Structure 1
Amino acid sequence: MSAIPGLEDLTVFRVEVADGVATVIIDRPPVNAQNSAFRDEITRIFDVLHESADVRAIVLTGAGKTFSAGADLKDRPDATRPGAFPRHGRAVRAGFDCVMECRKPVIAAVNGAAIGAGCVLALVCDIVLVAEDSFMSMTEVDVGLAGGVAHVLRHFGQSDARMFLLTARRLSGTELYRMNVASGCYGKDDLLPAAQAMAREIAGKVPLAVEAAKRAFTLNEYMPLREGYVYEQTQTALLAKTEDTKEALAAFAEKRKPVFKGR
């Protein structure tokens, strides 16, 4: 395991790096709830990993039996203070945006309960893998709050999204896999190794091409089909001129493992 400069003094997370893969572990007992320290650290972590040459893919998971039980209700903004809610909302969005904007692909390894903001955190990752006995739940309607609709709609069908949010039901890992919300469903002990193996597989691809693909997914979500495809073609043209693409083509022709330099 190697250390990443800038991430030595974490209190809510642990970050382990090996074979080009960073495993980011939420470690805030007892249930990995999200407070201001959580949001500050996750933003810093993903900003640092975004620029780290040693990291090509990321796995995000939780310590213990919980992925994240959502927002820490002891850390809610004071409704009597002017400006408290906009400031709080901006910080919450930053804690999700940093994952989506990170140029390295992020795999969520949902090892247990992912509730409310914890569910959203899993859904902003590029790939979702779940443990069989994990579950997701959006409990906002139970406590008189709202939020998460936009992110839920990115992964659930229309009827399922409404059922999920309006009933606040718990959906197990096996149900999430059946509903195509998750790309894989594993036994508890197999989840993290499977996520890390997938991350290593991604880390072995041409780094600039992987980054371009993630960028295209993010942009194409809000672009018409033709414009989205035109954008992808411009990226392919740019990649064709890079050293790594030339190395990938040469290695394929010579039947050897490529050596990428990230340029």
Structure 2
Amino acid sequence: MGVQLHRGAVAEVIIDFPPVNAVPADGWLALAEAVAAAGADSDTRVVLLAAEGRGFCAGVDIKEMQRTEGHEALIAANRGCAAAFAAVYDCPVPVITAVHGFCLGGGIGLAGNADLVIAADDAVFGLPEVDRGALGAATHLARLVPHQLMRTMVYTCRTVPASLLHGFGTVLEVVPPDQLRAAARRVAAEIAGKDPVVIRAAKASLNGIDPMDVKRSYRFEQGFTFELNLNGAGDRARQRFVEGR
């Protein structure tokens, strides 16, 4: 349970926080450290980011925030998410996410910053942040869906299926759930077979021509989450979620 790193030419980083992979604050930091460690290993050619359990990621652990006095858990979760998303983006080798079930909130940050996404046909993507009294990861959702759909998803908290993203080209393949990990490994093996020096140069060059500074953009979004928390809207929304209202 937690974050697992399996080293190799195709390094696998596995998220495992039962029951729904709502990641606690220290889990985001562990995830950032695992991805960074995999990328720093000269033997690593590709990183595969996947998850165990019912879904890829349900975002931050809101219950942890509500049972922790003060703002420490909120601040830690925000910093942890920023670190984990940045680790995926800055990883010197390509990162492939294998998404099954739900990819929500912080899961969008991970998938949106990845180089490739492979999804199971049961996967859905969404940002429930407005219903949770927070904002963030629209930066990353905008890398997966067109602009006005991104806005619609933020305002309504609707989810969309992997098949729709496949149509946009932002999900490379959609496969049955029991074939997800194998499909991701096939693509990873294809990339791992290339010259690793060239692949690392390609990753650096693609980040260098990216039109958006994803780290700065995401931290800007997070500022509004702090405002919502200060005026009480964030806490009210989180409490409604915890109480099931």
What 5-or-longer segments of structure 2 have no aligned partner? 213-245
5 Å matches for 1:42-191?
Answer: 42-76=31-65, 80-81=70-71, 88-191=77-180
Instruction: Give the letter aligned to residue 47 of structure 2.
Output: I
Give the distance between the partners of 1:32 and 1:183, measured in 2 at CA: 23
What is the SS of the residue equivalent to 1:66? Answer: coil
**8 Å contact kept, 2:28–2:77:** no
Aligned match of 2:5: 15
Larger of the two Rg values belongs to structure: 1
**TM-score (structure 1 length as normaliser):** 0.74
**8 Å contact kept, 1:61–1:110:** yes
Instruction: Give the letter aligned to residue 14 of structure 1.
Output: Q
Judge which range, 45-54 or 55-64, deviates more.
45-54
Structure 1 residues 112 and 87, CA gap change in structure 2 (3 angstroms): closer
Structure 1 residues 28 and 93, CA gap change in structure 2 (3 angstroms): same
Cα deviation code 1:144-202 (max 9, x no counterpart) = 22111211122221122112222211111212212333111111111110101111111
Which of the residues 188, 195, 200 maps onto 1:206?
Answer: 195
Judge which range, 197-206 or 176-185, deviates more.
176-185
Cα deviation code 1:195-217 (max 9, x no counterpart) = 01111111111111111111111
More helix by share: 2
Aligned match of 2:234: none
What is the SS of the residue equivalent to 1:147? Answer: coil
Displacement of 1:85 in angstroms is: 5.4
Displacement of 1:54 in angstroms is: 2.3
Displacement of 1:127 in angstroms is: 0.5
| Structure 1 vs Structure 2 CA RMSD | 2.0
Aligned length: 211
Judge which range, 170-179 or 203-212, deviates more.
170-179
Displacement of 1:139 in angstroms is: 0.5
What 5-or-longer segments of structure 1 have no aligned partner? 1-10, 224-263
Provide runs of 4+ in structure 1 moved above 3 Å.
77-81, 83-88
**8 Å contact kept, 1:79–1:85:** no
**8 Å contact kept, 1:70–1:118:** yes
**TM-score (structure 2 length as normaliser):** 0.79
**8 Å contact kept, 1:12–1:37:** no
Structure 1 residues 79 and 64, CA gap change in structure 2 (3 angstroms): closer
